[in-house]
Structure 1
Amino acid sequence: MKQITYFIFIGIFFTSCSHRIVRTDYNVNKSDYKNCDVIIKRNTNIKDTLITKIGEIKLGESGFSTACSEEHAIKILKKEACAISANLIIITEENRPDLWSSCYRCRADFYKYNDTIKRESSANDKIYQPEKVKQRVSKDRKNNTVVFIGSVIAGVLIGLLLI
């Protein structure tokens, strides 16, 4: 029993409390993070003549993630984009927190505009305005709380039935 507890403790200790990040076609260090102005869009097609793809990212969960809301994910996406000098993020896939995961998960592509005029005339999708993101995060937290309470009640009931 001691060994099982020891292995669980080591697993939790070495697991990040944030998103699991999988990068494709680029590398970045946290020391490269900086602030810049990045445009965020969802499932948008832009002509290849206007943009150049720099890389892809997948934000998942590490198993014991706690700081993995949509708001936190967007901060990571922006920092990653700024670190590689991208000025456009297109989110290609989103998964909201659900019964199986309390984390917001997504895939995104990083692009750089070839023409600064096109970049200046482009704007974020309205769904990524900070107040709208905060509303969705609040709703996700309420849903996670309901799922947690339901899970505890189900666990207690199953435990009582087994005794």
Structure 2
Amino acid sequence: MRKLLLLISVTLLAGCSHKISTNFQSATPAPADTLCNPEILKNSDLFGLDAQYLGSITLDEPIVYMRRKVCSEEAAIEILKSNACSLNANLINIILEIKPGADYPPYHRSACYRCIAKYYYVKIDENSKPILKEDVRKTISWEDKTKIRWDNFMIELPESSEVPYEFISRIFVSWKWSHWTGVCKNYKAQAVFYSDISKVKKSFKTTENEKHIKLLFTLTQLYAKRLENNLNSWKPIIGNRKKLFSIINWYHMDLENAKTRFYEETEYGENEAALKKWEDEINTELEQLTNGEKDPNEK
């Protein structure tokens, strides 16, 4: 009897795979006649694409394992694909991976392949297809702000469009992580313009009208500078990643609200007085923040 129990125990351990943790937003299974062949990308920037977030999965080493191949990269990929099919996801974005034996603080070294991935359903069209295929975004950062021109709007809007252009930008944030204290510090933030998803009518592409998009890029940089100064002012330093990302997301939402107000008040540049008012306020505050003065909006 003891030999039988021992045999069963060893068999179970030998078949042990990754430790799996999931946080799914939807559990709607894919239709039976749907061909499940999800695209797998790594640290892909999906910003601005028509993508529905379906959830995340973490694959860690099992508590006990006896064979390395059961927690190999190949085994992990099969687990990722299987869950993608259950969620009706057509894209898996691996946002963190740790190869067997690799040093990746604060994670300990392991013989297992480990990863964190997010699931999406992405609308595949003529705009998203090349972005996903190349997996390289066409962007312009603040340090190259002189390149903000109509020529870098890669999508042409039909003349029947209700708006003359769609300027897509966001804030990019970087920081240093301390292995000893477990906190982030030395934050840097800057505006980033997305050429590959920004749109404009051909009839609107004049040199005079370029001042609108240059001002919108400056507005994005203003919010980036506000965010950078805010994060670097925290005492004690922010150590909770969830709190950090919630702050960053709040600034992104505030930026989008500011863009909407800009469009409405300036009437896409037709209201010259309103445009001049925005220009003066944006440039004045950005200069103050760049020179180290306190954010006038900070309470």
TM-score category of the 2 structures, normalised to the smaller one: 0.5 to 0.7
What are the residue-to-residue correspondences of 1:63-142 with 2, within 5 Å? 63-65=63-65, 66=67, 67-98=70-101, 100-118=109-127, 120-121=129-130, 122-123=132-133
Q: Which of structures 1 and 2 has the bigger CA Rg?
A: 2
Partner of 1:61: 61
* Kept in 2: contact 1:41–1:124 (CA 8 A): no
Gaps of 5+ in 2: 103-108, 136-299
- 2: CA distance, partners of 1:124 / 1:79: 25
Give the length in aligned residue pairs: 117
RMSD of the alignment, in Å? 3.3
* Kept in 1: contact 2:28–2:88 (CA 8 A): no
TM-score scaled to structure 1, two decimals? 0.57
- 2: CA distance, partners of 1:18 / 1:120: 34
What are the residue-to-residue correspondences of 1:31-42 with 2, within 5 Å? 36-42=36-42
* CA apart distance, 1:114: 2.9
TM-score scaled to structure 2, two decimals? 0.33
Structure number with greater CO (CA < 8 Å, separation at least 6) is 1
Partner of 2:193: none
Given the superposition, is the C-alpha separation of residues 63 and 11 from structure 1 closer, same or farther in structure 2, using an over 3 Å criterion? Answer: farther
* CA apart distance, 1:118: 4.9
3-state DSSP of counterpart to 1:37: coil
Letter of the 2:92 counterpart: I
Partner of 1:24: 23
* CA apart distance, 1:123: 3.3
- 2: CA distance, partners of 1:52 / 1:28: 13
* Kept in 2: contact 1:39–1:123 (CA 8 A): no
Moved more, 104-113 or 70-79: 70-79
3-state DSSP of counterpart to 2:121: strand
* CA apart distance, 1:68: 0.8
- 2: CA distance, partners of 1:35 / 1:17: 29
* Kept in 2: contact 1:93–1:108 (CA 8 A): yes
- 1: CA distance, partners of 2:62 / 2:97: 17
Letter of the 1:40 counterpart: I
* Kept in 2: contact 1:15–1:62 (CA 8 A): no
